[in-house]
Structure 1
Amino acid sequence: MAIRRALISVSDKTGIVEFSRELAKLGVEIISTGGTKSLLEKEDVPVIGISEVTGFPEIMDGRVKTLHPAVHSGLLAVRDNEEHTAQMKELGLDYIDIVVVNLYPFKQTIAKPDVSYEEAIENIDIGGPTMLRSAAKNHAFVTVVVDAGDYANVLEEVRAGGDTTLETRKRLAAKVFRHTASYDALISDYLSKQLGEPLPETYTVTYEKVQDLRYGENPHQTAAFYRKPLAGAGNITTAEQLHGKELSYNNINDANAALAIVKEFDEPAVVAIKHMNPCGVGIGATIHEAYQKAYAADPTSIFGGIVAANRVIGADTATLLSEIFLEIVMAPDFTPEALEILSKKKNIRLLKLGEFSASAERTTEFAVTSVNGGMLVQETDIRQLEASDLKVVTNRQPSEEELKQLLFGWKVVKHVKSNAIVLVKDDMTIGVGAGQMNRVGSARIAIEQAGEKATGSVLASDAFFPMSDTVELAVQAGVTAIIQPGGSIKDEESIRVANEHGIAMVFTGVRHFKH
């Protein structure tokens, strides 16, 4: 079958004039609407208006123009069905062989910071998705194009054989249904949020592919990287890679973990990550000082790790970073001198995040975790604590310096795999115990890593102590203050041990499990 008639109506007019002109040269009659029709006329592309097909004017500011039997009969008629063919002849209707439509810019509209509800609603396309779905359903006979990237291939096939291949029509139809599903998901998400219903009876999400990955967590697993349609700056999904090899699945996972921690801090901070856990976190008056502390926290584990900074990286810090092997360094930006220094290392990946504010990042989002046959959805853990939120439960009050270190440790332990224990001293982590089956095991690891530095440090625990053994280990290590959620039936036992040894202990009333 040859393509004889095309219906073209696009919001994004990229490449549409050239595509339409080539179709016209091939003898295809072009039907169009509104702004698309005006553009084609202006560019001297032969075109007829939709009203000439429907015999009905475009009404209600263009809201109703293609929702007509003359359009959808032409799209949905099964060409080898005798009854359909007879009805088309009886009613004086004609087939439409190709539909080229892209939709009102709903995503771009709601991305505007000052968009009104009314403007958002007005940018919900109705006629476009309806035509796309009709044409895609009838892809055995109709070619449907929603992506300008497909124009060239469609033209090539039409020139060669007068029509597209069935395989191409199937591929384009599948793309259409993915596109309309994504479009509807954005609309439902927007409306649900407007109504304060973040967890409705059905949960539909949409993501856009950033890139295919060489493999997943292990070489035998296929993988790809996707991002939310409205992801903003300061995220791994929107980071600009300035140098280095292609990111891997594990790179992206670890980089995201590092970024989540560094966003906890308003002051200059650097985080080093290894296998999703922090091996070093430091804060300082400058990013250079913060990196020195993050490195000193665990000079062994940082090798081959990921480093995230919340300030621009300069030449002095870049010089230190270049002295060891790192998979990724990411920051809001790099000075030209820093970029030159780090780019000399062939394989290091350098990611520019763009400027971000820690406080601005503390907004509620929802995280999705896959389980067999379903998924779990929960709010991201953005809970913050101030000194005034803490309850001192021991005889001794923490000093001002201890309080500062306790809050620092609390920000870090929140991002360590449970069971989690973190030792902190002088604005840096000195021991991290992660992911053990019991809390005292994590404490032993953190204390062993800290070594002699443990004396005079503070300890943070992501959950309460079920018994006093962790406090007893802290006493032996020379820890002077402890922060933990509290809430165990044996809290009094832990408080008693702390009191006996002059340790200050505060309860947060907040737990930070991370599995």
Structure 2
Amino acid sequence: MKELELKYGCNPNQKPAKIFMQQGELPVTVLCGRPGYINFLDALNAWQLVKELKETTGLPAAASFKHVSPAGAALGLPLSDTMKKICFVEEMELTPLASAYARARGADRMSSFGDWIALSDECDEATARIIAKEVSDGIIAPGYSEAALAVLKTKKKGAYNIVAIDPAYCPAPIEHKDVFGVTFEQGRNNLAITGEMLRQVVTKNKTLTEEQRRDLLVALITLKYTQSNSVCYAKDGQAIGIGAGQQSRIHCTRLAGSKADIWHLRQHPKVLALQFKEGLGRANRDNAIDVYLSDDYEDVLGDDVWQNTFAVRPEPLTREEKKAYLADVTGVALGSDAFFPFGDNIERAHRSGVTCIVQPGGSIRDDNVIETCDKYGIAMAFCGLRLFHH
């Protein structure tokens, strides 16, 4: 098949819409549903991300995409009991691929609502059963087991978007894009991200553990497919905070840092002890946790709201308690798709437990950025590679 008609373009008024190949056959097959324009933008970007994560690490990978940027990306590493709880998979079977998606979805559950999913490997039944419980628009994977396909086809009354992609597909080295009737052309960004890019450590602390190197690579590969400007915090083989599409680097760092802080605070004993009304859906639980973690929690969560949400009215998590809990966070990796122009980015990263950083380098204030890292004993590598993505 050389072309595929889409439901509509970016918006319902933008018709007709289709995807097509100038040469050869489309590498994708729609097994269920009718994906739209944005669905395929998410699908093709997300597939590249998980494919590269798998190629670089050798581990199954998953991504949760929203509006052409990842809300989460992760490797298929085992989950602790606490992680199982915050990802809502305590009683579920977890294969490595299922663990990867549980982690990817759990990175930023608010942003992942209605996500597009990408899997590096054939979707198995365990992964499909997790997806079945989440609000999602669609999925792309190199294949599906019969059992997984049967589970996924029950979503959205049989209209869930399920796309298979040829894992051997390799696009042309030159890509094109039309904007306002003008065609842009450039070489595809096919430079592989590897551990060699972490060799130039420019700080006094030059030690990068294997776990730190893995997490820095996860951050870089995630950034490669994130709308710029972008910054990614990573820990334990997954992205835990992504700041995408910001005009200012410090705003990227703050946004991603606040998301990483929320990811950590979801593991606070008071959050883990929250008792919800029986039958309350996952999305409502996510909203309630988000409100509970806000500084104006008691003002926002009035009597009628908490009575409809919680089985027992929760004890507030004070600003001081949150600050004390986050002060103990450490071992977080940070990647940036372009150089840090000022040391304020490092100051903000340090507050979220960052102990290692990778960035291209090349700012006229590199010395100030390195000095700020040295102030906190942070190891920082210059990869020399800018990763703008638009």
Q: Same fold (TM over 0.5)?
A: yes
- Mark the CA change 1:471 to 1:364 in structure 2 (over 3 Å): closer, same or farther: farther
Whole-Å Cα distance in 2 between the matches of residues 220 and 505 of structure 1? 47
Whole-Å Cα distance in 2 between the matches of residues 268 and 513 of structure 1? 25
Residue in 2 that maps onto 1:277:
69
Residue in 2 that maps onto 1:416:
226
Counterpart code for 2:67: H
Q: Is the 8 A contact 2:70 2:226 kept in 1?
A: yes
Residue in 1 that maps onto 2:14:
221
- For the aligned residue pairs, the C-alpha RMSD in angstroms reads 1.9
Helix, strand or coil at the partner of 2:216: helix
Residue in 2 that maps onto 1:483:
358
2:48 is the alignment partner of 1:260: yes
Pick from 380, 383, 388: which aligns with 2:196? 388
Q: TM-score, normalised by structure 1?
A: 0.56
Q: Is the 8 A contact 2:176 2:186 kept in 1?
A: yes
Whole-Å Cα distance in 1 between the matches of residues 15 and 141 of structure 2? 29
2:29 is the alignment partner of 1:240: yes
Residue in 2 that maps onto 1:46:
none
Counterpart code for 1:513: F
Q: Is the 8 A contact 2:219 2:334 kept in 1?
A: yes
Helix, strand or coil at the partner of 2:17: strand
Whole-Å Cα distance in 1 between the matches of residues 179 and 66 of structure 2? 25
2:179 is the alignment partner of 1:371: yes
Q: Is the 8 A contact 2:30 2:163 kept in 1?
A: yes
Whole-Å Cα distance in 1 between the matches of residues 172 and 236 of structure 2? 31
Whole-Å Cα distance in 2 between the matches of residues 385 and 258 of structure 1? 16
Shift of 1:209: 5.7
Counterpart code for 1:396: N
Shift of 1:373: 5.1
Q: Which runs of 5+ in 2 are unaligned?
A: 78-95, 265-328
Whole-Å Cα distance in 2 between the matches of residues 214 and 385 of structure 1? 35
Q: TM-score, normalised by structure 2?
A: 0.73
- Mark the CA change 1:373 to 1:250 in structure 2 (over 3 Å): closer, same or farther: closer
Whole-Å Cα distance in 2 between the matches of residues 340 and 423 of structure 1? 36
* Deviation string, structure 1 residues 406-455 (Cα, Å, up to 9, x no partner): 11111111111111000000011100001111000011111111116363
- Mark the CA change 1:451 to 1:263 in structure 2 (over 3 Å): closer, same or farther: same
Whole-Å Cα distance in 2 between the matches of residues 230 and 425 of structure 1? 41
**Mapping 1:451-466, distance limit 5 Å:** 451=261, 453=264, 455-466=330-341
* Deviation string, structure 1 residues 345-387 (Cα, Å, up to 9, x no partner): 122111122444xxx84x7621212234532210111112322
How many residues get paired?
299
Whole-Å Cα distance in 2 between the matches of residues 239 and 396 of structure 1? 46
Residue in 1 that maps onto 2:38:
250
Shift of 1:508: 0.6
Q: Which runs of 5+ in 1 are unaligned?
A: 1-207
Residue in 1 that maps onto 2:312:
none
Pick from 337, 348, 367: which aligns with 1:492? 367
Q: Is the 8 A contact 1:423 1:459 kept in 2?
A: yes
Whole-Å Cα distance in 2 between the matches of residues 214 and 388 of structure 1? 43
- Mark the CA change 1:262 to 1:223 in structure 2 (over 3 Å): closer, same or farther: farther
Q: Is the 8 A contact 1:408 1:427 kept in 2?
A: yes
Shift of 1:247: 1.5
Whole-Å Cα distance in 2 between the matches of residues 308 and 214 of structure 1? 20
Q: Which has the higher contact order (CA 8 A, sep 6+)?
A: 2
Helix, strand or coil at the partner of 1:262: helix
Helix, strand or coil at the partner of 1:423: strand
Based on CA coordinates, which of the two structures has the bigger radius of gyration? 1
Whole-Å Cα distance in 2 between the matches of residues 240 and 275 of structure 1? 21
Percent identity of paired positions between Structure 1 and Structure 2: 34
**Mapping 1:222-371, distance limit 5 Å:** 222-231=15-24, 237-244=26-33, 246-265=34-53, 266=55, 267-284=59-76, 286-345=96-155, 346=157, 347-356=159-168, 361=170, 365-371=173-179
Residue in 1 that maps onto 2:389:
514
* Deviation string, structure 1 residues 121-169 (Cα, Å, up to 9, x no partner): xxxxxxxxxxxxxxxxxxxxxxxxxxxxxxxxxxxxxxxxxxxxxxxxx
Q: Is the 8 A contact 2:242 2:255 kept in 1?
A: yes
